[in-house]
Structures are given as C-alpha cells and as structure tokens.
Chains A and B, each alone.
Chain A
Amino acid sequence: MDVDLQRCIRGEKRAWDAFVGRVAPIVHAAVRRTLRRHHAAADSADDVVQEVFLRLIRNDLHLLRTFDPARASLATWLTLVARSTTIDHLRRTRPPAVPIEQAREAAVPAPPTPSEGATRELGVPDDLLPPRQRLVVHLLFDRGLSVDEAGELMGVSPQTVRSTKHKALERLREFFRRR
C-alpha cells in the first residue's frame, strides 16, 4: 500500500488526507465485517471508523508510530486494528448477550478439572505437540475445519496441513500407547 507514513507522522495535512483516502476502504470493510460477526447494527460503522482513525493519532500519533512496515503490511495491520477497535466499541456500548470471555471459553470444551470424574487420566506434557501440530489438531478436530480451510487460515498448503496432522496423530498415538 503506497502511503507516506513518515509524512503523516510529521502531521502533514496532505499526507494524512492521502493516507485516509487510501486506507478508508479497508478500515470501513473491517469494521462492517466485525459488526456483522457480532450481530451489531451496521449503522454504527461510521462512528467506529472514526474511532479507528482517532486511535491511530491519539497521543501524538502513538499507534501509527508503532507500525513497522518490516514486520507486516499496512493493510493487514489496519484490518486488525479496525477489528479490535470495533470489538472495544461493542464492549463499551452494549452488554454482550454472552460476555466475550465466556463465549471464548464456551467455543471449545474446557478440559475436566481435577475434581471431575471418578477416574482422571493424567495430563499431557505441555510440549507433547509442537505449536503448529497443536493448532492443526485444534482446527481440524475441535473447529471442524477441512484441510483446505485450515491451510487457508494458517497460510500454509493443504499438504502441509496433512503432514502436520499425520505427525501430530502419530505423537498422540505413541503417547497414549505408552500410558
């Protein structure tokens, strides 16, 4: 995305106007999508978009200054900033039907507590599965994603997902076989 952030950070009006013109579509799209996700009215989108830009320039453009183009693209970063700003807006302006934290926990069954059940299997070591294998198992089996969908979400090929899944299941089989 071709914008001159340094001139924006220096507060140059023309650079800021150009920046807004370039990024407003993706900010607006991200806000609207997030509002839809959370079943919120789209008519607050305009105000939330303004909040996003306010957040970028607050405290002497602090957030905008933190962006590092070597670490990520501006479009991706702004999408995530817009998304989190929208969620913060929703938290402030309405009580959720289910608090977001509870929704997060409810989405994936929690492991049984030590007091549950007549017998309890011992836990598994934290490092039994490397993070990528753990994520693949979670996406395929807990979230019900297909191999293609998991690959798209992780930014890897379906073949990588399949091989990662295979390795993860081999580890799990071996672990449970030895118990």
Chain B
Amino acid sequence: MNDASDNSERTLARRFRQLARREPGTCPDELGLAAYVDGLASEAETARIEAHLAVCRECLLAVADARRLAGRAHAAAPPHVVARARALVGGRGRGASRVRRSPWRAAIGWAATAAAAVAVGFVGLSAGSATHRARQAEPEVALAELALGSSGSPLALLSDEDPFQALTAAAKEGTR
C-alpha cells in the first residue's frame, strides 16, 4: 500500500474522529467484558461493547489485559497471600461458614477484646482466639521474588510499557 493511499486513509479516519460524537456511556461490568473477551457475548452485546471500546480507553486496556492474562500459565502467588485469602472463610465442618474480617482488622478487634477481657478478668474470647489461631496458621516462609519476565517465560512478552506496545511485541513474536 503506497504512502498516498495511507495518507488518504488517515485523513478519512481523522475527519471521522473529529466529527463523530464520543459518548462513552456506562462502562460494561466485568462479566460483560469477560463475555466479550471469551467470545461468548451475544451479537447485540458485542456491538454495544465494541461501540464502547472505541471511546473508552480504560475498558480497552481492560480487554487488552484480560486477553493477555487469561488462559496463560502464571507464577504461583506467594504462600502467605494464599493463606490470608483462605483465612477469610472459616468454618467448623461442612456447611459451616463464617466470613472473617481482614486479619489486620481482626487483630485490632482482638486487641480491643483482649483489653476488655482483662478488665473483667477473662482472657481469650472466641473471636480473638480464632483470629490468633488463624494468624499462627499462616506459614512463615521467606518471600521469593517472582522472576516475572525472566527469559523463556511467556511472561517475558508482557511489557511494562504501553499496553498497546505489548501487543506489538507479542505480534512480532508470533510472526517471526
């Protein structure tokens, strides 16, 4: 394609951009965008989302990132991160569940409860002691810095630069 043709196309696109209305409207929710990324959105939903993507940079980036991340193998999350998330739901036996507050809030609650318990001469109320047991259960492991982007890993293709440059890198890798 020659330069004159390229310039003509760019001119057309620029005129359209300058004259077209850009009303992004409401961003689709995560499930709507996920359906689009997975190719499961209906025709009407796809049209709505693509119309929105043409005017909303954040949603465009979200779709680009979702395409890049979903379906790939990922390094394991740090064990303490997994343990903290697991501790959000506790229970004694099947069907029993108790959603816990975040460990730091629970610790504050534990400290306050312990202070009150001392005041009445009783130590170790159930909430505080349960939190204490949860904190003790977190494995104490040294954090290994994940070598994201190490050579040979698919993650190396993920650029820290502009996400659209990341697509360039991936496309070039695929065409070589």
B97 touches A11 (CB 8 A): yes
Q: Tell me which of B9, B16, B66, B164 has the highest count of chain A C-beta atoms within 10 A of its own C-beta.
A: B16
A109 contacts across to B, CB distance below 8 A: 17-18
B47 contacts across to A, CB distance below 8 A: 130-132
Interface status of A76 (Cβ within 8 A of chain B):
yes
User: Which secondary structure dominates where chain A touches chain B?
Assistant: helix
Residue of B whose beta carbon sits closest to that of A145:
B164
B171 touches A146 (CB 8 A): yes
Q: 1/0 contact trace for A58-76 toward B, CB 8 Å?
A: 0001000011101111011
How many residues on the B side are at the interface (Cβ–Cβ under 8 A)? 81
Interface status of B37 (Cβ within 8 A of chain A):
yes
How many A-B pairs fall under 8 Å by CB?
239
Q: 1/0 contact trace for B25-48 toward A, CB 8 Å?
A: 000001101111111110000111
Cα distance A138–B13 when bound, in Å?
Answer: 8
Interface status of B124 (Cβ within 8 A of chain A):
no
B66 touches A76 (CB 8 A): yes
Cα distance A72–B20 when bound, in Å?
Answer: 32
User: Which secondary structure dominates where chain B touches chain A?
Assistant: helix
Partner of A20, one of B37, B39, B74, B86: B86
Q: Give, as a whole number of angstroms, the nearest-CB distance from B154 to chain A.
A: 11
Q: 1/0 contact trace for B118-148 toward A, CB 8 Å?
A: 0000000000000000000000000000001
A83 touches B54 (CB 8 A): no
A20 touches B34 (CB 8 A): no
Q: Tell me which of B48, B50, B67, B89 has the highest count of chain A C-beta atoms within 10 A of its own C-beta.
A: B89
Q: Give, as a whole number of angstroms, the nearest-CB distance from B14 to chain A.
A: 7
From 43 to 65 in chain B, residues with beta carbon under 8 angstroms from any chain A beta carbon are 46-48, 50-51, 53-58, 60-65
Contact A104/B57 with A37-B65, A66-B31 known, Cβ cut-off 8 Å: yes
B70 touches A153 (CB 8 A): no
Residue of A whose beta carbon sits closest to that of B10:
A141
A16 touches B89 (CB 8 A): yes
From 75 to 112 in chain B, residues with beta carbon under 8 angstroms from any chain A beta carbon are 75-78, 80-82, 84-86, 88-91, 94-99, 102
Q: Give, as a whole number of angstroms, the nearest-CB distance from A85 to chain B.
A: 10
Interface status of A5 (Cβ within 8 A of chain B):
no
Q: 1/0 contact trace for A97-122 toward B, CB 8 Å?
A: 00010011001111110000000011
Cα distance A149–B157 when bound, in Å?
Answer: 14
Interface status of B152 (Cβ within 8 A of chain A):
no
B86 touches A17 (CB 8 A): yes
Q: Give, as a whole number of angstroms, the nearest-CB distance from B100 to chain A.
A: 9
B3 contacts across to A, CB distance below 8 A: none
